[in-house]
Amino acid sequence: QTTDEAVNKLTTHLFKKYQTVEDYANASLPELESDLHSIGLYRNKAKNIKDMAETLQTRFNGVIPAPHKELIPLPGVGRKTANVVMGDTLKKPEGIVVDTHVKRLSNRIGFVKGDNPIIIERELMKIVAQEDWFKYPNLLINHGRARCMARKPDCIHCEVLEYCNFAKKATKIWLSREKEV
C-alpha cells in the first residue's frame, strides 16, 4: 500500500526506463524489484507487472485488450485497475474506480452505504452519468484532499454541504452546542 505521491514519483522514472510492454516483459525480475523498491509490496508488484507484460505479449500481441472482462484476469489487475485503464488509457469507461477515497467520501456524503467496492461501484453507476464515470473518482479524490479530509473535514467551506449527510449531522451538533453557550 502506497501513497499517490510515491506512486507518481516512481512512475515518472518507470515510464522513462520502460516504454513498451516488451520492455517490461524483458526486464529481469530483480531489476523490476529494484525499480519498485521505494513502494510497498514491491516484490509482488514487480512480479505482477512482469507477468502481465508477458501475458499481453503472448495473448494480445502486446496490445492492451479493450474489453473490461479481458483486463480483470491479467496478473495484478482487478476491477479498480481495469476501470482506470478503460477510462484513462482507452477512453471507454466501463465502471467507476473505487479506491479508499471514493469509498470513504461516497459513504460520508451518503451516496452509498457499505465497504464492498463492487457494491459501491454498482450503486454509484446508478447515480453518476456514464460520461462522468471516469471523472467522478478524481473529483472525489480532489474534494477529499481539499475539503473532506478523513480526520478533520472542512464542512463549513464545503462545496457540497447541502447534499452531504455527514455535514448535516455535523451542523446539527454545531447548532446544539451554540444553543448551550
What is the reported pLDDT for 8?
85
What is the reported pLDDT for 66?
84
**Assigned C-alpha cell, 50:** 512482469
User: Which residue, among 104, 116, 98, 122, has the nearest Cα to 166 in the 3D structure?
Assistant: 104
What is the reported pLDDT for 67?
85
What is the reported pLDDT for 110?
94
What is the reported pLDDT for 18?
96
Where are the alpha helices (H) located in the chain, listed in sequence order? 4-17, 21-26, 29-36, 42-60, 68-71, 79-84, 100-109, 117-127, 135-146, 165-180
- Identify the residue whose cell numbers are 520492455: 23
Residues with active-site annotation: 80, 99
Sequence-distant (≥ 6) Cβ neighbours of residue 34 within 8 angstroms: none
pLDDT tens string, the chain, 181 residues long: the values are: 677 788 888 999 999 999 999 999 999 999 999 999 999 899 999 999 999 999 999 999 999 998 889 999 999 999 999 999 999 988 999 999 999 899 999 999 999 999 999 999 999 999 999 999 999 999 999 999 999 999 999 988 989 888 899 887 776 655 555 565 5
Q: How far apart are CA 148 and CA 75, in angstroms?
A: 34
What is the reported pLDDT for 16?
95
Contact call for residues 39 and 47 (beta carbons, < 8 A) = no
Contacts 24+ apart (CB under 8 A), 38-46: 38/6, 38/9, 38/10, 39/2, 39/6, 39/7, 39/10, 40/1, 40/2, 41/1, 41/2, 44/76, 45/76
